[in-house]
Amino acid sequence: MTVYAIIGGTGLTQLEGLTLSAALNIDTPYGAPSAPVLRGNYAGREVLFLARHGHPHRIPPHQVNYRANLWALKQAGAEAILAVNAVGGIHPAMGTGHFCVPHQIIDYSWGREHTFFAGELDHVTHVDFSYPYDERLRRQLTAALMAESCAYSGHGVYACTQGPRLESVAEIARLERDGCDIVGMTGMPEAVLARELELPYACLALVVNPAAGKSSGVITMAEIERALADGMNQVKAVLARVLGA
């Protein structure tokens, strides 16, 4: 049976309902992960859980040690990864509370440690990243979203920006011209590091605000926090349905 790892983003720093069996403090060649890897039972099966931003939520997107996080999950026995991300909506369909299971990603971040293939290498290594997300996992997520009667899109292009600030109206207009549907700050290099470790990876993105210029007002943290509070029960129900299948 596949051992799933869940990477929890903003709003999901702990997985309520997880019956904990171990908290693993894993040393990696890349430093410490954001938090201990939690092993336990959720929805009737063994799972791993890692809080991307730490617990409590304290590590900003550009300072997450993505390499240590992915390496630690692999060492703990992860065989597939379900990543939960809070995002802004660019496409008109991506309103607050809408879910997206993206099929593509564009990386606008910079300066992040983005590969395991660096330093003193025996040979140069390239990985195919034509299709960043695992199709089987994507189908499992969309089936679960449908079964839970969630508003969702089964395709979308994720724009990963640097953060921690939100984007300007002009930047969002540029991302829209590039074909992006949602915008977040943590989708990369997480997805490609999973690919380098040969870990199937998919993203469950919850829209928590309209992107800059996509609503009449300014974006507030209170608005985002309300959307997170409203959406996390659905996130957990979707994850439980995937794991229980």
Q: Which residues are annotated as a binding site for substrate?
A: 185, 209-211
Q: Is residue 157 a contact partner of residue 133, using CB atoms and an 8 Å limit?
A: no
Residue set of the binding site = 10, 52-53, 185-186, 209-211
Residue set of the binding site for phosphate = 10, 52-53, 186
Q: Is residue 114 a contact partner of residue 188, using CB atoms and an 8 Å limit?
A: yes
| Full DSSP string of the chain | ---EEEEE-TT-SS-TT-EEEEEE---BTTB--SSPEEEEEETTEEEEEEETTTTTT---GGG--HHHHHHHHHHTT--EEEEEEEEEE-STT--TT-EE--SEEEE---SS---SS-SS-SS------SS-S-HHHHHHHHHHHHHTT--EES--EEEE---SSPPPHHHHHHHHHTT--EEESSSTTHHHHHHHTT--EEEEEEEEEEPTTSSSS---HHHHHHHHHHHHHHHHHHHHHHHH-
- Closest residue by Cα to residue 211 from 100, 62, 132: 100
Q: Which amino acid is at 227?
A: A
